[in-house]
Amino acid sequence: MKKFVWIICYIMPVFFISCGVTGQVYTVKRPAEVNMKGLKVIAIGDIQGTRKSHSAAIMNELTSRLSESGAFDAILDRNHLDRIIEEHKLTMSGFVDDGSIIKLGKLIGAAAIINGAISVDKYREDITRQLKVQEVTNVSISVTSNKYEQYTNYIRSVSSLTNISYKRTGKYVFSVGFQIVDTQTARLLAAKTISASREKVTEAVNGDPDMIDPEYLFVSSVEEICNNFAARLLPKTDVLYVTFLFDNKITNSEKAINYFKIEKYSEGIALLREQLNNDGTEKLLKAKIYYDVAMGLMLSDQYEEALQNAEKALELNPNDHYIACGPKLITDEWNNAKRLKEQE
């Protein structure tokens, strides 16, 4: 695991108290949702839909996103694939049959083909209006005078000002069902429907609101869907917050945790284990030591031993919130590491 470049602030300031909780944020790699092991070529197949231009937009955007990822040796766009299909007289309309897929696999090698169908492609626009009546008070002043005195007259009048507020709302809803198929075996690797919606509002008073461009909302929806889909084929970076249980009663507790924060895990673990060999260490303190050792082992990818230490900590102190969460955290990270290994 690689340490993130900044440290989360202490939940409890360890410089002024004898025990507490401190933490560190680490960047970690997560497995891809779809296991693409051995498939370094992607072929963009058919995207079915009632509008050919919208199907083409999905295929083009998907080609761009996968090419930009740099994760694959080659991306065969639809034009390239069509030439192969035509040359070898294959049938590739819609969701292709197993036989055609395997024939294609023999031509392009180990690859995955992406097919899909647009299930929702809808734009709706509504205009609402609201009548607003506002009272306006007018005051007129007149002054009359003679040689003895001056009179000021105030005349108050109330009138109504009526305005109509117009609101135009345009909303595009778009959904695509994707399938990823291994061209060597015709095995379905994944099937997923991804949706996106985009909305824009314009307003005006006593007049028509500005028009809304549905094409802009459509393009934005396509970008979101293709980004979302492409991300499922790639490992991703995530953040992991790890807590450590500091206690001044444990010799070298702070020093060991500081070692963990600079990724010197073996040094920190060795310091803490010295205290475990001390028969005079209290039960609850030992629970903290086992927990911190478990975190250090997990961060150094020694998951089995980490889990054993976390379970020992839990046996000694089942009532501590952080200790209680330790085994699950380690198990989850271990499973992620196994999946990443499978995808290499």
Instruction: Identify any residues that bridge with 140 across adjacent strands, giving them in sequence order.
Output: 155
What's residue 83's pLDDT?
85
**Domains 2-18+244-343 and 41-121+174-198+209-234 are alike in CATH topology:** no
Condensed to tens digits (0 to 9), the pLDDT of residues 120-167 reads 999 999 999 998 877 766 666 666 666 666 666 666 676 777 889 999
Cβ(219)–Cβ(57) under 8 Å?
Answer: yes
What's residue 10's pLDDT?
34
Cβ contacts of 334 within 8 Å, gap of 6 or more: 303, 304, 306, 307
- The full set of domain ranges for the chain reads 2-18+244-343, 41-121+174-198+209-234
Condensed to tens digits (0 to 9), the pLDDT of residues 31-55 reads 999 999 989 899 998 899 999 999 9
The CATH architecture assigned to 2-18+244-343 reads Alpha Horseshoe (1.25)
pLDDT tier for residue 215 given thresholds of 50, 70 and 90: very high
41-121+174-198+209-234 CATH, one of 3.30.1330, 3.30.2400, 3.30.300, 3.40.50 = 3.40.50
* pTM to 2 decimal places: 0.74
Q: Tokens at residue 312, please?
A: 């020992």
Compute the mean pLDDT over every residue in the chain, rounded to the nearest whole number: 87
The DSSP secondary structure of 295-316, one letter per residue, reads HHHHHTT-HHHHHHHHHHHHHH
| pLDDT of 94 over the 60 cut | no
What's residue 109's pLDDT?
81
Cα-Cα end-to-end distance for the chain: 16
Give the Cα separation of 204 and 161 in Å (integer): 16
- Which stretch of 129-138, 152-161, 285-294, 295-304 has the lowest confidence by average pLDDT? 152-161
Condensed to tens digits (0 to 9), the pLDDT of residues 172-183 reads 999 999 999 998
Give the Cα separation of 161 and 139 in Å (integer): 16
Give the Cα separation of 96 and 78 in Å (integer): 14
